[in-house]
A = this chain, B = another copy of it.
């Protein structure tokens, strides 16, 4: 769902960062006519993501390198599986290797962690969603990786949905000293909704159960219950009673996500999907061919 233009722009910048003056090792050590093929091999099981980005790293280093992807993004693989094959001039293959791997390891790492969260909650109706805690410059790729893992995307940026958090509500309350806090929040939200694009989803974060009614009164689309205990999440779901989507956020881990999902919340936001996913261990195994074909 990403354009070629977007992928190429991000990958070209990464290559220039990693080889501003070229790759000394390849250029000085390897014969110019050595040809190599290489297999992208999984050193651990996981979920694949970033195939097109991996391929672009080689193409933008040297159009003479060919990449064939064996899996679609989103496919699972086991340790030892071959995910892609690369062939071309040995120098170019090795120059592009690390950047290709950096992207596909990171993206597959995000996809794989996402899948683990998703697998914990499939028996419930809850969806696992990402957050804006992404790597600067790579958000589109990381969001793609979350989808590869079966997760759902949350709003992409500050520009495509409203998310009013505690800090916003604090400003609202302070700015309307003549109103009760509840009234300040309800009235401000209503006024905003009247002016926002009609396509804008409005989500509001609450810290306590007793804030829910003021928010619901404004007609918001989603209520986010921030850092609630499992018991309070359950009470929150009951209180909302279907009048809005319910999102749980804060302190979600693989150890807690199942219990959270079983409270009946609709969405579970997990910042760790993108800000703390370990890169997946994928490697490039070379097979060298001599220039004379032997």
A contact set with B: CB distance below 8 Å: 1-6, 8-31, 34, 36, 38, 60-63, 90-91, 94-95, 97-99, 102-103, 105-106, 127, 129, 132-140, 143-144, 152-164, 166-168, 170-175, 177, 188-189, 192, 195-201, 203, 221-222, 245, 247, 266-267, 271-272, 275-279, 284, 286, 288-290, 294
CB of A174 within 8 A of CB of B27, answer: no
* A195-B28, A197-B152, A199-B203 known; A9+B16 contact, CB < 8 A: yes
What is the bound-complex CA distance between A288 and B184, given in angstroms?
14
* A152-B198, A199-B160 known; A140+B34 contact, CB < 8 A: no
CB of A23 within 8 A of CB of B288, answer: no
Q: Which residues of chain B come closer than 8 Å to A195, judged between CB atoms? A: 28, 152
* A140-B20, A171-B90 known; A155+B199 contact, CB < 8 A: yes
Q: Which residues of chain B come closer than 8 Å to A28, judged between CB atoms? A: 162, 192, 195-196
**A127 partner, pick from B162, B189, B198, beta carbons under 8 A:** B198
CB of A153 within 8 A of CB of B29, answer: no
Q: 5 other contacts beyond A34-B174, A156-B197, with CB at 8 A cut-off?
A: A1-B21, A1-B27, A102-B132, A106-B275, A136-B137
What is the bound-complex CA distance between A155 and B14, given in angstroms?
16
Q: Chain B's nearest CB lies how many Å from the CB of A186?
A: 12
What is the bound-complex CA distance between A97 and B15, given in angstroms?
27
What is the bound-complex CA distance between A176 and B237, given in angstroms?
37
Q: Which residues of chain B come closer than 8 Å to A173, judged between CB atoms? A: 288
In chain B, what residue has the closest Cβ to A196? B28
Q: Which residues of chain B come closer than 8 Å to A152, judged between CB atoms? A: 195-198
**A159 partner, pick from B22, B90, B188, beta carbons under 8 A:** B22
